[in-house]
Amino acid sequence: MSGIDIAVFPVGGMGTRFLPATKAMPKEMLPVVDRPLLQYAVDEAIEAGISQFVLVTARGKGSMVDYFDQAGELVAILKAKGKAAELAVLESTQLPPGAICTVRQQEPAGLGHAIWCARHIVGRRPFAIILPDDLVQAKVGCLKQMVDAWGRVGGNMIAAERVPEHRTKSYGIITPGRQDGALTEVLGLVEKPKPEDAPSNLAVIGRYILQPEVMDILSEEKRGAGGEIQLTDAMAQLIGVQPFHAVAFEGVRHDCGDKAGHVIANIAYALAREDVGPAVRAYLKTL
């Protein structure tokens, strides 16, 4: 089975929960310690073998593409000053020529609509989706875990974690079937059900591997929860037609679309680093 070489990053949201910071910068560029959320997402994709990166953007979010360019003037200054460590850091932000491309989502019509906007670039091949808001802290990247599992069973695959029952109304929720280790067969999907209507507390998080047929379904532009084109609804139509599994990934997910989650992610990642961890740990002990 051939691997997954293309990933779609839906990054067109306005980030209103982080105003005023997001008035002039995309929420995906908010840092966790010293790296933007989008950098973590791209690094995770590279680890999983992705070589083509599709950013589904919106008006005013061109800085995300600029970020992965070569910063010629800055590089020249750092070279002149002999700052080798800083140059090495910059090199990690540059992608090979042609590796990154963008498409515009001209209206905020839902996650399914954002993915559909990338249909001409994805073509008729299986593809990954990463939502940078969901930052997964793990020894082996979440998408790499999924790609390894997908290599065994194929079809469609989503990352999932158990959430408190009262939180099911914030997620796509899985109707689980047969379980095999970290893999759970997906028998159904429902978008943001009330706790009393939820088939489980197994929630879909922002990592997917999907077959191209999902684009055909999204092309029908059917509106779901919130009057938006929901990716969950489109995926649900593939269940029973193609293999569909959820992966219980190893790692900790930080919801960086939420202010508290973003602060917690900064603390967790800082504590894991040798350069800033000791100072942060010492401060936390004084609280």
Residue 186 tokens, joined: 């997906």
Residue of higher predicted confidence among 44 and 233: 44
Band (209; pLDDT cuts 50, 70, 90): very high
Residue 76: other Cβ atoms inside 10 A: 10
Q: How far apart are CA 83 and CA 77, in angstroms?
A: 9
Model-level pTM? 0.92
Band (225; pLDDT cuts 50, 70, 90): low
Look at residue 261 and tell me whether its pLDDT is greater than 60.
yes
Residue of higher predicted confidence among 68 and 118: 118
Q: Specify the range with the lowest mean pLDDT, choosing from 9-23, 88-102, 184-198, 243-257.
A: 88-102
Q: How far apart are CA 234 and CA 212, in angstroms?
A: 11
Q: In the chain, what are the domains?
A: 6-285 (3.90.550.10)
Average pLDDT for the chain: 90
Mean pLDDT to the nearest integer, 221-230: 74
pLDDT digits (tens, 9 = 90+) for 138-184: 999 999 999 999 999 999 999 999 899 888 988 889 999 998 888 99
Residue 29: other Cβ atoms inside 10 A: 19
Given this model, what pLDDT does residue 14 score? Answer: 81
Mean pLDDT to the nearest integer, 244-262: 94
Look at residue 214 and tell me whether its pLDDT is greater than 90.
yes
Contact 42, 144 (CB under 8 A): no
Given this model, what pLDDT does residue 53 score? Answer: 96
Mean pLDDT to the nearest integer, 60-75: 82
pLDDT digits (tens, 9 = 90+) for 6-38: 999 999 888 889 999 988 889 999 999 999 999
Given this model, what pLDDT does residue 93 score? Answer: 83
Band (2; pLDDT cuts 50, 70, 90): low
Helix residue spans in the chain (DSSP H): 37-47, 63-67, 72-80, 84-91, 111-116, 119-122, 142-153, 213-218, 231-236, 259-271, 277-285
Given this model, what pLDDT does residue 73 score? Answer: 82
Quote the DSSP letter at residue 169. G
Look at residue 1 and tell me whether its pLDDT is greater than 60.
no
Given this model, what pLDDT does residue 157 score? Answer: 96
Contact 93, 67 (CB under 8 A): yes
Contact 29, 36 (CB under 8 A): yes
Question: Sign of dihedral through CA atoms 145, 116, 10, 206?
Answer: negative
Phi, psi for 136 (deg, rounded to 5):
-105, 115
Residue 267 in 3-state DSSP?
helix
Which of 171, 199, 195, 180 is closest to 246 using CA atoms? 180
Residue 227 in 3-state DSSP?
helix
Enumerate residues 6+ apart whose C-beta is below 8 A from 263: none
Residue 7 tokens, joined: 């990933």
Q: Is the preceding peptide bond at 278 cis, omega within 30 degrees of 0?
A: no
Look at residue 228 and tell me whether its pLDDT is greater than 80.
no
Residue of higher predicted confidence among 182 and 210: 210
What's the residue count for the chain?
Answer: 287
Q: Specify the range with the lowest mean pLDDT, choosing from 50-54, 64-68, 155-159, 265-269.
A: 64-68
